[in-house]
Every structure is written in C-alpha cells, then in structure tokens.
Amino acid sequence: MKTAHDLVALAKSQIKEVSVADAAQAIQASDILLDVREADEYASGHIPGAVHISRGLLEFKLSNSPELAPRDLKIVLYCKTSGRAALAAKALYDMGYLNVESIAGGFDAWASAGNPIAKPQPLEFE
C-alpha cells in the first residue's frame, strides 16, 4: 500500500520543479500562476499575481474554464511545501498540459527567501 509520501515522491519524479531562486523568472514567463492551497491559506498570504484554485477542485475548474483549456499554457503552481503542487502538476500532465512547473519548497520556501507576499487588506466597517 502506498502512502501520501510515496505518491508525492512518484509525482516529483515525473514533473518539472523549479527552484525558488528561479521561481520569479518562471512566474514572469508563465501564462498563469496557480496557488493550489486551501482558501484560508491563500487568504493569509500568497505570491503576488497568483490565482487560487484548491487542489481538490483543480481538475474540475480547469475542465470548465475555457480560458484555461489550451494545453500549451505555461503554468506555474505551488502549495505550502510542494507536495500538493507535485500531485497537481502530475494531474495536469495527465490531462495533457505540456508546460507545467511546480515551485520546489512551495510558498514556505518562497516566503523564507524574502520574496514578496500579497496579503488581502482586511475589511473595515465604520
């Protein structure tokens, strides 16, 4: 029986990961940056310009969004530490997407490297 760790390791052996040092360049060259974490994680801070699609809904959202249908889109994705992003990247490859990269170390590595983080402004009521 395989564990989650086994599935992530297998996915990582079949996808392309980009280092945090090269992530900004990969993001700039991409058509879309996807944050596949949960909504509360995204809301607490994310990479600027990232579009949120939770890992659990990824295949469904991509299948139902005409703007995301072209299989030659350049997609960069990330999660907290890179496990969910690896599984997501593998799923995208299986769906026929040709240019998918995952950020090694995920959001935590991005933030630890001192890169910019977007945080939504809290709502103010008066």
**Residue 40 and residue 64: Cα distance in Å, rounded?**
23
Q: Which position among 34, 53, 58, 79 bears the catalytic label?
A: 79
Instruction: With beta carbons less than 8 A apart as the criterion, state whether 68 and 85 touch.
Output: no
Whether 79 sits among the annotated catalytic residues: the reply is yes
The token pair that represents 41 in the structure block: 């994680």
Burial of 39 (0-12, 13-18, 19+ CB in 10 A): exposed
Kindly give, in sequence order, each residue whose CB lies less than 8 Å from that of residue 92, ignoring residues fewer than 6 positions away. 58, 62, 75, 77, 100
User: Annotated active-site positions, please?
Assistant: 79
